[in-house]
Structure 1
Amino acid sequence: MEDTESPVREGTTAQEKDRVLMSNKPLHRFLQKEPRSLGIVLFIFGCAELLMGFQLVGEEASNKIYVPFWLGTLFVVSGICSIYADLHPTKKTVTICLSSYMLCILGITVAIGYRVYGFTHLTYLHFRYRYRKWDTSRLAQVICIESILFISSLCAIPIFIFLCVVACFALKSSRTQVIVQCIPAPPTTTSD
């Protein structure tokens, strides 16, 4: 059966909250890992990705498939889901968080692959336009923005992996139930 009630109610004292959070239930173990603070970090990463993506509009970087926009949106959504799951921990919210974390990991791997391709293309363009002062300075700025986004994506991967593991453990049942069904053998008739 699913626990739909929040484990920590409003109006409880700090001592009661500590006692509830030190419980061994799976959802309480999820709350012990502070998904709200990690959700805030992911939200900030997402906002930074979105805002820096506006600087890349029209550039020959990862904007061909709009990486900063959809990856930033994924980060923001998973950050909001983490914050909501911390405030209202149920198996449904943790499952939604787990799916958003896995989707973000997949998106980061696609973005990293495309950004590596973009770096090679940008360094080629930087070499090609090395005698044009304006073009080289603009390409250097784009390479810096792309490298900042690349590093922030690399920093977000361990957070997402950690949150995936914690969410998987939170979804495991603390009580294993086995249903044994006994089906009687059909009556045998012996004929002599």
Structure 2
Amino acid sequence: MGEDGASASASEPISTVTGGNKPVHRFLRGQPRSIGVVLSMMGVGLFLFGIPMTVHTDIMTSADVFSPFWLGILFCVCGVLYILSERSPSKKIITASFALSIISTIGVVSACMDFIKSMVIIERQDEYTHNNITEDDYVYLRQHYSAVVAMECVFLCHGLIGGVLLIIMTCFARAALRSSNTQAVVVMRNLPSAE
């Protein structure tokens, strides 16, 4: 009976399910560490370049509404989350990355509008001051304004590039958090030997 009981249990199918419900590997395909480093560096650049922009009291810049500062902080936090998510991927950290990426993308749209608005205001102020000052003063002022507009363009480029990276990582995070129905069921049977 012991042999018959052992052969009966050996011939029962053994099934195991492989593959998780949340395929984290989809997020890792986006190279979150590399994008995290790029976003962190862009965030530090935005923050540091925003500091000298605050000294321009005669014209309104985006630094007056702190756009480079809070956008730089958002980029840095997103970058750190992406770096951490590649080191130890989990559902919680990918969910946090996903949520912060969406918030940062909305922030990029708002900040880019601030950057464009500042460039337009500087150009209009340049036209207004041209009629009220001498030609030598206008040349000096024009050089000053062009440097400020160039910094606003740098901020705008950083914002747009960071926004594209955030949208890409949002798509990867969404794919990783979406439930997967592609589980593989492995069925193994121990067939009795021909002996």
Q: If the TM-score is normalised by the length of the shorter chain, which range does it land in?
A: 0.7 to 0.9
Q: Write out per-residue CA displacement over residues 93-149 of structure 1, whole angstroms, 9 at most, x where no aligned residue.
A: 001101111111011100111112111101012223344233222111110001011
In the alignment, which of 136, 141, 144 is matched to residue 135 of structure 1? 141
Alignment of 1:5-154 (within 5 A): 26-59=23-56, 60-130=60-130, 131=135, 132=137, 133-154=139-160
AA aligned to 1:96 is A
Contact persistence 2:22–2:91 (CA under 8 A): no
With normalisation by structure 2, the TM-score equals 0.74
Pair 1:156 & 2:158 matched: no
With normalisation by structure 1, the TM-score equals 0.75
Distance in 2, Cα, partners of 1:39 & 1:55: 26
SS of the aligned residue for 1:58 comes to coil
Structure with more strand by fraction: 2
Deviation of 1:153 (Å):
1.0
Distance in 2, Cα, partners of 1:49 & 1:95: 26
Contact persistence 1:129–1:136 (CA under 8 A): no
SS of the aligned residue for 2:85 comes to helix
AA aligned to 1:41 is V
Q: Which has the higher contact order (CA 8 A, sep 6+)?
A: 2
Q: Write out per-residue CA displacement over residues 41-98 of structure 1, whole angstroms, 9 at most, x where no aligned residue.
A: 1011101101110121133210221001000000000000100111110000001101
AA aligned to 2:77 is V
Contact persistence 2:26–2:176 (CA under 8 A): yes
In structure 1, runs of 5+ residues without a counterpart are 1-22, 177-192
Distance in 1, Cα, partners of 2:129 & 2:153: 20
Distance in 2, Cα, partners of 1:150 & 1:112: 6
In structure 2, runs of 5+ residues without a counterpart are 1-19, 183-195
Q: Write out per-residue CA displacement over residues 154-189 of structure 1, whole angstroms, 9 at most, x where no aligned residue.
A: 11221111100100010112248xxxxxxxxxxxxx
AA aligned to 2:144 is R
Structure 1 stretches of 4+ moved >3 Å:
none
Distance in 1, Cα, partners of 2:69 & 2:22: 38
Distance in 2, Cα, partners of 1:25 & 1:64: 43
